[in-house]
Chains A and B, each alone.
Chain A
């Protein structure tokens, strides 16, 4: 180890936390002058403790200090942390089990945590609006949990690619229009979250809580309107099996895995199908044994493969698997809907209801279908999430929306139609 020059001069700031060698004076190192406050965690030379080393421009452990307004997040840190101990898939399922319990505790802690959660959301929305950060991002109020519906992820590169494509087709104006529309939708959603009233509150809380348990009903994408995306209620079906089964698509159905590459990996020819599944499910050590794990995982996937085969080959290899994978995990969950919509986009115009086909046609007109995928995805789903078409509401619900106040017991569960809003 290098000898510490500062120590030799008698002014080492780190004392015995210093990573260089202090020749012959281990004990007295701690007594040297320290510019910063430090706790006597002197033996900890690596400074692992978040609290022990506090320099003048320390990185604030903001993740901890900000978790307070989120209420339930503290409880969730615990079980989630425990879940990391042993590593691998089995722990994941345990971790989810624990988090589900903590969600239960969230609801039992009741009002206060919810309030904190909502406050946190409001604060985040305010910051998001004022800070000029990237708009087209998903958002989750609690770090480890699911995303709030109503936001979609578009990366800057995707948007830029859109721009290029429109540029080459000389269609810049429609690009600008669609971006403007996205921005407006985002703004609406942010405002909606900022000014939380009773109905959005209920939706939000169910979003956050149920995100882990069942992806389907509560997520905007999956709320029974998945049919419009051409997927016959996939997420709903999968929801019962989600937590324990981390889907890993069997590639065999999609013709992408070769059969001739066994020499590379030293396994049987069909490795493309199985090993990924085997390793995902059968837990800790990612063995490539093609014996038992194969069997069990195949069994656990059984509900997916027939489902997948319903789709034939949609030409998007990611499509059914992403649906299958959807409810399996929090980040994956919204993807199920959007995955469906992506693949289904090619079919949207034929299958979707009028409410959806309109915007997509207006925006993209004759532009190529494939490229504006992420953008149009947003548009379709936004309508889905935020508003319902008038014809989908019963007479009673319509009446409720039109009256000045909701009457208790008759409050509609679906969002109001676009036409009723005065913006």
Chain B
């Protein structure tokens, strides 16, 4: 099956590096590391293997290791310095989320899986440090120490606190009516996690505070990624919210959806700041870099329509929010997937928490993890000023 090992198009070195378009049944899923230069040329640097599509990726807090969670029911730790990948986790079903937790007295990897468990792993041991049960399959999670949020199937929503030891803090009744799709924690002014944003397949995001002074007023939901905006009279197309990311400095949030757009919002002022133009493909994942200067999003087919089609996939970055949200479009990773078949969809994107040359890693359905580095100079192709609409927002 040439589906998983692609034939051509990754950088200039062609197939030699990733070659082995195997026809055997194993189809090892490759994790690829790229370097992207100013000119947009991409150079492959390294590769690792997974035997199933990769569903989530995560950086360690020092930026030296990459954790990948895959449908082959394992999670691996990829040490970038030594270019070694070892398995650190095992589940009974595909591992959907993976996060690195760095606490004062411990550090571990948290994996959430479709086997309805949440496991915490010390990367040195093959037994989990802790196993917590989920009411249903884990669909998405987010961690900002000392809080973790997991959203499961059947509209389950659980908040964990991670101090001392991970434990369930509260089960929350879902503020949304449909399937949960993505979740992101936001912080308050004192940089402490105080709530989360939850996105569903129904083009709606709920902002939920953990201990608000006035829950009925402070928690709210808003509609997004719909074709008709807030005009509810005409039938509108509703798209799933595929990813949510919060700006590390300003606290504004970005949502990306199946409609191929991304939007920036200010949750405190409850306004929409900006919506992008529509891309030709759904946007599957997004993230800000460590200081919020760059916003990256990955567009690819996300299975929102049940049939599959061949499309190009690409990852793009926008130089975002310098002060007041000036944006620039800069294409990071030109469609290497242009020649890939539809299975090469992007699923997850993670940004490195420390400033370094390697910025993003993007997980593909084929089991590839792309590490994308950004050179110092960005070449904006267009600029837009958000000064007015972003005025006063954080």
Seen from chain A, the residues whose Cβ lies within 8 Å of a Cβ on chain B are 6, 13-14, 17-20, 46-50, 53, 55, 57-64, 77-78, 80-81, 84-85, 87-89, 92, 124, 127, 130-141, 143-145, 147, 153, 155-161, 163-164, 167-168, 179, 183, 246-249, 251, 254, 256-258, 260-261, 264-267, 271-272, 275-276, 279-280, 286, 288, 315-318, 321-322, 325-326, 328-332, 334-335, 338-339, 373-374
Task: Give the complex CA separation of A257 and B343 in angstroms.
Answer: 36
Asked whether A325 lies within 8 Å of B135 as measured between CB atoms, the reply is yes
The 6 closest A-B pairs by CB, nearest first: A318-B116, A137-B179, A332-B135, A131-B238, A279-B167, A331-B156
Contact check, B53 vs A161: say whether CB atoms are below 8 A apart: yes
- 9 extra A-B contacts, CB within 8 A, seeds A256-B119, A332-B171: A47-B268, A138-B154, A140-B177, A157-B96, A265-B106, A266-B164, A286-B169, A321-B133, A332-B136
Once bound together, how far apart are the Cα atoms of A160 and B180, in whole Å? 17
Nearest CB of A to B293, in Å = 18
Whether A335 pairs with B154 at a CB distance below 8 angstroms is yes
Residue of B nearest to A329 (CB): B171
Q: How far is the CA of A14 from the CA of B269 in the complex (A)?
A: 11
Taken together as a complex, chains A and B put the C-alpha atoms of A104 and B171 apart, in Å, by 23
Within B105-163, the residues touching A (CB, 8 Å) are 105-106, 108, 114-117, 119, 122, 125, 127-137, 139, 152-157, 161, 163
CB of B361 closer than 8 Å to a CB of A: no
- Judge whether B34 is part of the interface by a CB distance below 8 angstroms: no
Min CB gap B130→A, angstroms: 6
Residues of B within 8 A of A246 (CB): 168, 171
List B residues at the A interface (Cβ < 8 Å). 1, 3, 25, 27, 53, 55, 71, 92-94, 96, 105-106, 108, 114-117, 119, 122, 125, 127-137, 139, 152-157, 161, 163-165, 167-171, 173-179, 181, 200-204, 206, 210-212, 214-218, 220-223, 226, 230, 235-240, 265, 268-272, 302-306, 308, 343, 345, 347, 365, 391-392, 394
A266 CA to B103 CA, complexed, in Å:
14
Q: State in angstroms the CA–CA spacing of A59 and B155 once bound together.
A: 23
Contact partner of A87 (CB less than 8 A), chosen from B132, B139, B211, is B211
Q: How far is the CB of A229 from chain B (nearest CB, A)?
A: 15
Q: Is the CB of A156 within 8 A of B223?
A: no
Residue from the list B155, B217, B265, B345 in contact with A138, Cβ < 8 A: B155
Chain A residue nearest to B126 in the complex (CB): A258
Q: Tell whether, in the assembled complex, residue B304 and residue A130 are in contact, meaning their CB atoms are under 8 Å apart.
A: no
- Is there an interface contact between B173 and A329, defined as CB atoms closer than 8 Å? yes
- Taking the closest CB of chain B, its distance from the CB of A178, in whole angstroms, is 11
- Are A261 and B125 in touch, CB under 8 angstroms? yes
Given the interface pairs A81-B215, A145-B173, the reply to whether A157 lies near B135 with Cβ below 8 Å is no
Using known A-B contacts A50-B270, A160-B365, determine if residue A248 contacts B303 with beta carbons closer than 8 Å.
no
User: Could you tell me the distance between the alpha carbons of A329 and B392 in the complex, rounded to whole angstroms?
Assistant: 40
Q: Is the CB of B132 within 8 A of A276?
A: yes
A60: contacting residue among B125, B153, B222, CB under 8 A? B222
User: In the assembly, what is the distance between CA of A373 and CA of B119, in Å?
Assistant: 21
The complex places the Cα of A265 from the Cα of B212 at a distance, in Å, of: 30
Question: Are B308 and A59 in contact (CB-based, < 8 A)?
Answer: no
User: Which of chain B's residues have a CB closer than 8 A to the CB of A130?
Assistant: 235
8 examples of A-B residue contacts, CB within 8 angstroms:
A78-B216, A85-B211, A133-B237, A163-B303, A168-B1, A261-B127, A279-B168, A322-B134
Chain B residue at smallest Cβ distance from A167: B3
CA distance A6 to B130 in the complex (A): 54
Q: How far is the CA of A17 from the CA of B169 in the complex (A)?
A: 35
Partner among B136, B168, B306 whose Cβ is within 8 Å of the Cβ of A335: B136
Tell which of A161, A168, A374 touches B27, judged by Cβ atoms closer than 8 Å: A168
**Chain A: which residue is nearest B135 at the CB level?**
A332
B167 touches A280 (CB 8 A): yes
